[in-house]
Chain A
């Protein structure tokens, strides 16, 4: 399993336990996200602080994970390392997701850095 879940203040925090979300990992990631978030709270925070690299396959898998949540639920992203942050900003996906520099900031209700 590449993912582990905890609850913080009513939100589900899903931590990615992998250094890369790349083409070799994308399908497994998407399936694991489906089983982790099959039902649960409205807000899901994806903790990416261990992820050092993402490619467009991984980016697509995160978009797919958000779609799987369905209407009324929200996927926020926390702990983006420099390369991951770069991919989200270049593709303008930073306008689709709320990005938080750290998990603390995501759960503390501070203003999203978008």
Chain B
């Protein structure tokens, strides 16, 4: 089986929520297991939030384009934006946050790339023509029809 679908929206928090939910609804229609959809949603939301909060941080929010391809047992999610490149033009390491300090020093952010790396099987990033192209890959067991 092969399914592809795509969504575009303006990089605001509310439009991002709608866009993420649209992808999730499509994945549900494709018959993906609910637990796997949850994991995909976490990684996708972190990637899209990064675009909203960082790539377009200094400019009027531009477009976010998401294209999904479900083929055999692999889900590929392509996320494209025209915002600022990732720092140093490369994917952040996404290390786990230290939680052993006192309560008042517990981190309230910096979990995003860690979650993306934990939940994907592969990530690719490319900057070209003034655009960020991020590919999140997931191995998926689609239940038999």
State the A residues within 8 Å of B (CB).
20, 22-24, 53, 55-57, 59-61, 63-64, 66-67, 82-83, 86-87, 90-93, 95-96
B13 contacts the other chain (Cβ, under 8 Å)?
Answer: yes
Using A55-B42, A55-B46, A82-B35 as known contacts, say yes or no to A92 and B96 having CB atoms under 8 A apart.
yes
Interface of B is mostly: helix
A-B contact count (CB 8 A): 75
Chain B interface residue number, banded: 20 to 34
Contacts of B14 in A (CB 8 A): 24
Q: Are A93 and B42 in contact (CB under 8 A)?
A: no
Contacts of A22 in B (CB 8 A): 13, 17, 45, 49
B38 contacts the other chain (Cβ, under 8 Å)?
Answer: yes
Using A24-B14, A24-B17, A63-B107 as known contacts, say yes or no to A56 and B118 having CB atoms under 8 A apart.
no
Using A23-B53, A91-B114 as known contacts, say yes or no to A63 and B41 having CB atoms under 8 A apart.
no
Contacts of B53 in A (CB 8 A): 23
Contacts of B111 in A (CB 8 A): 56, 59-60, 91
Partner-contacting stretch, out of B1-9, B85-93, B98-106, B124-132? B98-106
Contacts of B119 in A (CB 8 A): 90
Contacts of A59 in B (CB 8 A): 111
B109 contacts the other chain (Cβ, under 8 Å)?
Answer: yes
B27 contacts the other chain (Cβ, under 8 Å)?
Answer: no
| A20, A55, A87, A96: the one within 8 Å of B106 (CB) | A96
Q: Are B39 and A86 in contact (CB under 8 A)?
A: yes
B97 contacts the other chain (Cβ, under 8 Å)?
Answer: yes
